[in-house]
Structure 1
């Protein structure tokens, strides 16, 4: 992932994990060449020690960077791994996804994990911790949303 017009941000490289989500990874490889419409819109910093949300888990904030891949849909295949820091996961059946800023044992195996940040986690951390944002409530969940959506482009590097 790269961020057009944002030379101050480094690239984020996600290694796709066919062993965890083969069909979803194939869909991503076929559909995701984001030149338009792919963006991050939610940035949740790491919660303070002891912070507890209305569901009994840590937060808010929820330690993630959330965005949207245009044209991607999928779901959990087999037994998904527990979300760890740096994992890229689909939300529901997509096209929304997140990159975990910290591990989330409390979520169990509820998300399809399709990749792991191989390099550029410092960019993810910077966006989640430092970019201007504001609070909103989605249903019963308090969230932290970027003041301005952050567009990104992607390319698939075949190894």
Structure 2
């Protein structure tokens, strides 16, 4: 004899169907909202703090080993370590002591600036003093007017997620991690531009793709030429109404994909789209583009260009220059502090 059907089975089947339809609707809404809003700037900064930005790190090179400052400059700010009882033989040791106060975790360092007195004649009893400090604003550090009579040497230290500026264009914002420990004079100039609140005249004017010579990771393809095209976008950071002084040669590693470097002594600069071992450490690197923002640089590299010849080298110049603006970038932590 057959079993009588249970009246509860149709109801259970209907519930399962409704549950499945609800799940599908949730997935559709999720992907739609993700496409509309995309990643926020805060999430991009958080992703940077979770990455080790390796500007200058190629074939064993390590930008984290830099520890340089600017002579004849005294940075002010609250002291976290008093120099009267904290002395060293060199500015590098003082800088290293400041960097040691970075925990290595995400977020700001306990020490973000240092001041060292290294001129025996001028310093007198202060010789060797190393003052470790914490700035209220690392992108606008307090300082004495620098000059040749200043006996102090000073420098900045940016932790992960700090020292990031935005290079804003109509095609998107390139987030750049600055390297003050490696190229302090260069970074000081960038911070001066940032304080102006404008960068009139700053622009990209040359754009060359990776062509058939480098892959999407910036690695050179075996037996391919080294250009042209030369896998870079080039521009100027000479703002109208400002006087530019030539910058000294500083940190010159192998230029790699994402490196931001000067052409000569500036203010002409470029962002590299590839690892350029063939350039043999010829350019001062002062920053690195957030990896996920390289898609913006690649987009600019594919804009319409016209051919030109510079010093017997064929180059590609943009038909229409791309203006850029330097601006501050608030991290998620700074936004949290403001909201509280």
**TM more than 0.5:** yes
Q: Which digits, 9 at most, give the CA deviation of each residue in 1:60-95, with x for residues without a partner?
A: 000000000015541322x52110000000000111
Alignment match, 2:270: 98
TM-score normalised per structure 2: 0.41
Mapped partners of 2:296, 2:184: distance in 1: 27
- Cα distance change of structure 1 residues 140 and 105 upon mapping to structure 2, 3 Å threshold: same
Alignment match, 1:29: 191
- Cα distance change of structure 1 residues 81 and 158 upon mapping to structure 2, 3 Å threshold: farther
**Which protein has the bigger strand share?**
1
Identify the structure with bigger relative contact order (alpha carbons < 8 Å, sequence gap 6+).
1
3-state DSSP of counterpart to 1:67: strand
Cα shift at 1:31 = 2.6
Q: Which digits, 9 at most, give the CA deviation of each residue in 1:35-71, with x for residues without a partner?
A: 310000000111324553xxxxx00000000000015
Mapped partners of 1:61, 1:100: distance in 2: 12
Count residues with an aligned counterpart. Answer: 148
The 5-angstrom pairing of residues 10-159 of structure 1 reads 10-32=172-194, 33-49=197-213, 50-52=223-225, 58-70=226-238, 73-77=246-250, 79-118=251-290, 119-128=292-301, 130-157=302-329
Q: Is the contact between residue 252 and residue 283 of structure 2 (CA under 8 Å) also seen in structure 1?
A: yes
TM-score normalised per structure 1: 0.85
Cα shift at 1:132 = 0.5
Q: Is the contact between residue 193 and residue 326 of structure 2 (CA under 8 Å) also seen in structure 1?
A: no
Mapped partners of 2:237, 2:198: distance in 1: 7
Larger Rg: 2
Q: Is the contact between residue 34 and residue 152 of structure 1 (CA under 8 Å) also seen in structure 2?
A: no
RMSD (CA atoms)? 1.8
Q: Is the contact between residue 34 and residue 70 of structure 1 (CA under 8 Å) also seen in structure 2?
A: no
Alignment match, 1:2: 168
3-state DSSP of counterpart to 2:327: coil
Q: Is the contact between residue 29 and residue 156 of structure 1 (CA under 8 Å) also seen in structure 2?
A: no
Q: Is the contact between residue 207 and residue 317 of structure 2 (CA under 8 Å) also seen in structure 1?
A: yes
**Which protein has the bigger helix share?**
2
Alignment match, 1:55: none
Mapped partners of 2:248, 2:329: distance in 1: 23
Mapped partners of 1:46, 1:134: distance in 2: 17
Q: Which runs of 4+ in 1 moved over 6 A?
A: none
Gaps of 5+ in 1: 53-57
Q: Is the contact between residue 47 and residue 63 of structure 1 (CA under 8 Å) also seen in structure 2?
A: yes
